[in-house]
Structure 1
Amino acid sequence: MGRHAAPARRRAAGRARTPLWPFLLSFVLVAAAIGGGLALHQSTTQAEQPSATGPKTPDIDLVARAAAVDKVLKRRAQAVLTDDEAAFLADVDPANQALIARQRMLFVNLTQFGFAKLAYQQLSQQYDDAVARKHGPSTYIVAIAMTYQIRGIDTVPIRSMLGYTFSERTAGRWTLVSDRDIDKRLPRGSHEEAWDTGEVLVKRAARVLVVVEKGQQQLASRLTGIATSAVKAVSKSWPGGWTGSGVVIALDDKIVRGADYTVPKNAEDALAMATWVYRTLPGEVSGAGERADSYVVINPRNRDRIDARTLAHEFTHVATAPYGAYAPRWLVEGAATYVEFLPMDGAQDLALPKYRQEVRTKYLAKAKSLPADAVFFQHADSSYPLSWLAVDYLFERFGGTEVATLYQELAALGSSQAERDRIMTEHLGLSETALFRALRAAANS
């Protein structure tokens, strides 16, 4: 038998290395991480109301304004779908050359994605005295929902959010005068899309879409190849199969969608993050929003370290994202690492029996419980291997179908420890504590 490679340490190149097993820090955003402004479209605060000292607001027919802005938004969406740049820019302030340049770049970016559906919807008016003084008394700042579906990628329409400022420059004609005024108020995770950051290049393959900086053809081709391998691996390995698609965003920007690589721990250790996309925006139906899928955002510092196993880990998060937000972290990361380490076309097989014993002696022997959600990433060097060991045990003892069913129910309903234990006991005859004891017993047998 040939000598097999062990699961590799997945850390930034600049960090000191130890010879054995720690892991990829691959974060799936949780609802708490995208707080702030989540119900922006539902209401405005008293502090946001027009100031008595601000410019006098002219009498405006609000129904007529809403109808006129709706027409602008509809023209812009249709312009993207029909590749009509002139129509897209027709309602942009012609005196604002910087805005025109940004909107032209946005148009070129959007047309590369191949939308099957695209629409913009007004949500609620926002107020800012400084902005009103800048653009005049008819200033209309509005939060807008962008609903889109990328052809061959998104299985359902996705909702994102942006903010526009309009002004009535001639009677009945509303002109887009700014696209940045309320960016900082918009909710993290449903804003700052890949097409908003700068000039991009989009490359496609079957069930794969890759976004890189304009001109980075070689990177796009490499990522498309390994993403294709990873999609096939997850489709083959996840119980019941996975028929979704993988979106990989590898830009120079450190903040894209819900990924923030300016945070020191993320910048240093993380290779990639699976960031949620939404079928309903935060605050529309639920405070955290309803998830539809996930897009993977690569850390620009570590993009050269991305391989097919890394993306298989992330695409497992993508495959399980629609289940819900409540699965315990050990199951979320353990399942992704389990799939990541399985035999995969084009990747060397890993020495899993040796690794299993290493985890038992190095980590399990010292642990007192399964990794807790609150401290999971603080102790990532032990949390990932212990989580893998737990999921490996579940697959071996109960089979993939039962594990996938358990995951789905925990993700949908496991919002408390009592609920998690109830669901686990119902499916496995084991609570989390009992599962940990079973891992200990298996190690000693």
Structure 2
Amino acid sequence: MVAILAAGGLVWRELQEPTAQASENKPAAPGPDVQLRSAEVDRVLIRRAKAVLAKDSTAFVADIDPADKELLAEQRILFDNLVQFGFSRLSYHQKREQFDQTLIERHGPTTYAVQVVMIYQIKGINRLPVRTLVGYVFVQRPDGKWVITDDDDLDRALPRGSHHEAWDVGPVLVQRAPRVLIVVERGQTELAANLLTEASSAVRTVTKRWPGGWIGAGVVIAVDDPIVRGADYSVERNAEDALAMATWVYRTLPGEVTTEGERADSYVVVNPRNRGRLDTRSLAHEFIHVAAARYGAHAPRWLVEGVATYVEYLPMAGERDLALDAYRAMVRTKYLAKAKALPADSTFFARSSSSYPLSWLAADYLFSKHGPTEVATLYQELAALGFSQNARDRIMLEHVGVTEVGLFRALRNQPNT
């Protein structure tokens, strides 16, 4: 695979043999031995993975350009971060070469820029291996050795949400409890301890409340960087309002098997501005998203957020009970009376002040009328197969006897209590 630069962007095409005419008119330009280079780079990647698993910092930085002291320091921080996560499996594999003339001008004619798939499994956290992307720039030294000279110049070309992991953001502290992993800035021991307590309680709640039980784990990333994984708290609305968001973890990356990628799990990334507001209830909300991440991406947003909010508001050990009867009456009077339909996917977050209460009311109705097992089955099928309104209507009718329009009508026809 090779890339060409076109109109300021990167264009990919399969590597082709030169045409007969081109080879007759122009001698072939000397270039690298591609197979030898690939084999040498593979060996570098294998050594890096083995070094993390063996906790060998010297081996991890052995293939870094020794002239780049700043990169060496950054890589030592990265190594310290990676070791803390406790990988039971780790490997790196070349995915795609990327051509960028500016990188050649910066690093020289031997520059080899390549997207790399990182496959990993955190002990006690990931039930199966998952994937993320990194981008490395290699150069060949005069002695023939290939070394890494950059590890972030390709970030702008990597798909959003499939790179820039918690271990990439500077020195971190990782703390664990059964089925819980917390990531904070190094030195933030009190914050880590508080989050560990709240997250552990939230994991127990979701395990108890999610129909059929949830056997997954809660990963909470609460660092200063506003952009981690798929979370972007530099966006004004997110920065002010959001507490946290569940970001997808991939079994196969977007474009490998499906356009969207196959989801295996989800990690919760906390808004740096709102870390002090996080509690067991808000984490239980996010862990419902984590529990449901593997089902798919096609459930209507009102159901996704409604179910999470429903569980968040239930009686919870160590938390004061909420006045749900009064809240239900307020939602019906303040929001349902003015609404014309269930919250739409396209405007859900733009109208969040009404979308969340209405979604909770719809979930509350479904759980009360049909029970948690049927609601969970409905959720799973909609998440996997709710590609269109027709599909959603068919699935809704099959499981709860009404379409989304019918559900909204049922909510409006309920007597006020």
- Asked if Structure 1 and Structure 2 have the same fold, meaning a TM-score greater than 0.5 normalized by the shorter chain, the answer is yes
From the superposition, tell whether residues 293 and 57 of structure 1 become closer, same or farther in structure 2 (CA, over 3 Å): farther
> For the Cα contact (< 8 Å) 2:289–2:308, is it kept in 1?
yes
User: What aligned pairs does 1:129-278 form with structure 2 within 5 A after superposition?
Assistant: 129-278=101-250
Tell me, yes or no, if the aligned pair for 1:190 and 1:281 is still in contact at 8 Å: yes
Q: Which residue of 1 aligns with 2:359?
A: 387
User: Contact 2:2–2:99 at 8 Å: present in 1 too?
Assistant: no
- Deviations, residues 301-349 of structure 1 (Å, cap 9, x unaligned): 0100000000000000000010100000000000000010011111111
Contact 1:57 1:137 in 2 (8 A): no
Higher relative contact order (CA 8 A, sep 6+): 1
Q: Per-residue deviation at 1:135?
A: 1.5
Match of 1:63 among 35, 43, 50: 35
Shift of 1:173: 1.9
Is this contact kept in 1: 2:116–2:134, CA < 8 A?
yes
Structure 2 Cα separation of the partners of residues 126 and 268 of structure 1: 37
Q: Which residue of 1 aligns with 2:20?
A: none
> Given that residues 162 and 183 in structure 1 are in contact (C-alpha distance below 8 angstroms), is that contact kept between their aligned partners in structure 2?
yes
Aligned counterparts of 2:143 and 2:398: Cα–Cα separation in 1? 66
Residue in structure 1 matched with residue 71 of structure 2 by the alignment: 99
Give distance in 2, aligned partners of 1:378 and 1:111: 40
Question: 2 CA distance for matches of 1:137 and 1:383?
Answer: 55
Partner amino acid, structure 1, of 2:391: E
Aligned residue pairs: how many? Answer: 399
Amino acid at match of 2:206: V
Cα deviation digits, residues 164-219 of structure 1 (max 9, x gap)? 01111145421111112211111110111000010000000010000000000000
Q: Which sections of structure 2, spanning at least 5 residues, go unmatched?
A: 13-27
Moved more, 223-232 or 169-178: 169-178
The answer on whether the counterparts of 1:57 and 1:138 sit within 8 Å (CA) in structure 2 is no
Query: Offset at 1:157?
Result: 0.9
Give the CA RMSD over aligned residues.
1.5
TM-score (norm 2): 0.93
Partner amino acid for 1:417?
Q
Q: Secondary structure at the match of 1:212?
A: strand
Q: Does 1:119 align with 2:91?
A: yes
Q: Is the 8 A contact 2:211 2:376 kept in 1?
A: yes
Q: How does 1:9-24 map to 2 (within 5 A)?
A: none
Task: Provide, for residues 401-428 of structure 1, a one-character-per-residue CA deviation record: whole Å limited to 9, x for no partner.
Answer: 1000000000000011111001101111
Percent identity, please: 63
1:342 partner letter: L
Q: Does 1:402 align with 2:377?
A: no
Matched AA of 1:284 = E
Q: Deviations over 1:84-130 (max 9, x none)?
A: 00000101000000110111110000000000110000011101112
Which residue is 2:400 aligned to? 428
TM-score, L = length of structure 1? 0.88
CA contact (8 A) 2:184 2:192 kept: yes
Other structure's SS at 1:252 match: coil
SS at match of 2:263: strand
> Is 1:300 aligned to residue 272 of structure 2?
yes
Give the 5 Å matches for 1:332-351. Answer: 332-351=304-323
Say which is worse superposed, 105-114 or 128-137, in terms of deviation.
128-137
Where does structure 1 differ by over 4 angstroms across 4 or more consecutive aligned residues?
Answer: none
Mapped partners of 1:348, 1:229: distance in 2: 14
Instruction: Give 2:303's aligned residue.
Output: 331
Q: CA deviation at 1:443?
A: 3.3
Which SS does the other structure have where 1:127 is aligned?
coil
The alignment status of 1:374 with 2:346, answered yes or no, reads yes
Q: Is the 8 A contact 2:95 2:116 kept in 1?
A: yes
